[in-house]
Structure 1
Amino acid sequence: MQKNYIRFLIHFLHDNMKKYALLLLAISFFACGLAQDPDVVSGETLKPGELQNYLDNPVIRAKYNNDPYDNERAVKLDGKMPCVSGEILNPGQACVEKLQSRTVMVKEFFPARVNSAPEFRGAFQYTGYSLSDIVKDYVVSKYNKSEFGLNTDVFVVVENDRGDKAVFSWGELFYTQDNHDIILATHVRPVFPSASDDKWPLPEKIRLIASNDYITVRNIDRPSKIIIRSFPESFPGSKGLRPLFSPTIEIKGQGAKTTIINAAETGRDIIISHDLVFFGMHKGLKGPCNYTGVPLSGVLKQKFKFSNTDLARGMIAIGAKDAYRVVFTLSEILNRTDMAEVLLLDEPDNEDGRFIVHPGADFFADRHLKGAKLAYILLVE
């Protein structure tokens, strides 16, 4: 009886050209009457007489089409773009008017508090401008350019007026396969599940979003500064020095803690193999390659204990005998959702080994480091 009534109501509204709000309400009642809330409209859930209403009404179409991310309306976030400074020749306020907008999807999972588990605070679709697009036209002039002229040791600090900070490597912005997954969001829409009543509040201000982070430690409200810097520690050596072989890696941690990585430290519990086309930013194609090693994350966790602050502000720079060095943020290594691990290879018979660092997520090979010898872990204050 209820189904017949609802069917009559829908046809009555259609015949009288009633739109939008009343039609949406009627279809909601219809779905409840059938004891289901379909994720998408299909031949099983849509009656022939309702097809035109679905096609004509953008509100209904957004709710019941195949895209689960556009069910809710987007909300604009208030605020202005931050100022860009640091080791650059052309500082100034970030200009985004001519930049392409980017969209990322995020499940925000905040760190555990004392005596509690990590807290899920919602799923969102954020739209804004990628950090790589924002900083790409600033001319880098490194303080250490006389020692090392490449940008593989450059990093970016984003902070707000409350003192919240997040650090990103130059590689995260320009060398990876997905270099637009870190954005300054100007719009947001929630992604609510279709078969539950779960809801969560929306942010109100422009927000820095690191969408590939597992634990939400680098999302910052109202960022006001973007600072481009080079890694401050020096690496001894000279360009062209061969062979690069080093039997160990010395890692200098925060404070006075120093540890040594040797063959026994790499372990064999987790082995990962990457097949890829090796392609450098400057020298181009070197051909297909296979790299098999252990996750660098596991090696570091054996030696150090990392806090949430370390994941937000920490980085590691790794260098070889020829003074070549690369920088990774600790979140890149320890806090990923894409499982594209940074690998540590142990090749004791390779004259450019023993230890090789391979970034699984990178498009360019410029952070593929042979003969790793010395590393520094640094926390941005």
Structure 2
Amino acid sequence: MSPPALKDTNLFKPIKVGSVTLQNRLAYAPTTRRRNTNEFIPTNLIKTHYEDRAENNGGLIITEATFVSPQGGLYTNCPMIHTKQQAEAWKQIAQGVHDKGSAIAMQLWHLGRAADASVLKEHGVPYLAPSAKYYDDSRKKVADKAEIELKAFTWNQVQEIIEDFKDAAVNAIKVSGFDFVEIHAAHMYTLPQFLDIASNERTDKYGGSIENRTRLTLEVIDALIDAIGAEKVGIRISPYATFQGGSGAESKIMHPIAQYAYLYSELERRGKEGKRIAYVHSVEPRVANGADVEDAPEYSTEWVRQIWKGVLIRTGSYLHQDGYKNLIRDVNIDDRTLIGASRYYTSNPDLANKLKNGLELTPYDRNTFYVGGNYGYNTFGKFGEDAKGKDSAEAKLEGVALA
């Protein structure tokens, strides 16, 4: 059964996001692929990847998660926007996407306890989290082997998180020329580690109550609004995620609606006060980070729309369902919803065209996601083109720092 053409749905109607008018409501959701240099600098391979997916698109490209500073990470071969060299490299990518007619947002990342302790040790960076609580034994074993101990952020170090996000946002918008930044507050990295009662055992003003656990995320939001303007700020949130130790809806302590409804309400309050951010990016409960949730229950997320009245990006396995039933329902439910896709964007550079015209999607290859190199990254063809094999010249291209 051929997939339906979506050209007559809201997905292919223009929409204004912040001060930018998109030609459609399709977003390339953040997709970490580890194609950067050892110095966390984007390469020519990354520029090609985003340009290919921006061409004849007109929607929103959201970059892979990008470290705000060395203290915000680290993982190998992931990007950063902290130094002038890193910002100049990203500038070439943003310009390339703009030249192809699409808009681009940079997702800003801070890892906390999810960081790779061995990489932190190599770079002389401390291993920090809201509380000194590993989310599983495997992370403790890595830390023990690297002879680095997980410790709780001090009050001063929490303030540095805010400053690092602000500095990275200024670099992205004012140096690199991005349209938006997206604060990564999903999937149990630093900010959701503060939000989640399972990972936050603090007794200061950043722990305890719902309001206190939300404080840091809102302080980051406010700092970015002041630094670059609300219309250039987005945030990604995953209320139901259990990835990396998140409580999820089965929590015996607190249902995620209790915690996250307050966060959405505070964002909406700012909107009503003239500081409405560009968008909220909400991850549906059918997905956990990059993987589908097995036998995922159909939790209703209608409460998010009832609280937040601004532009909403919804991401979560929309392209895995025959007939795109949930996608069509959700994008047509109002006039302010975008749909995010990630895994099928890796294998379909012309995803917008295929969805618009009802063309078959090329399956993605998870085995190539995090292994580096150009194979499985820029070797997938557009409609009517064959993919390049492992022995092709394209597959053997190596990444070179853009700056």
TM-score of the two chains, using structure 2 as the length reference: 0.21
**Structure with more of its chain in helix, by fraction:** 2
**Structure with more of its chain in strand, by fraction:** 1
| Bigger Cα Rg | 1
TM-score of the two chains, using structure 1 as the length reference: 0.22
| Higher-RCO chain (CA-CA 8 Å, sequence separation at least 6) | 2
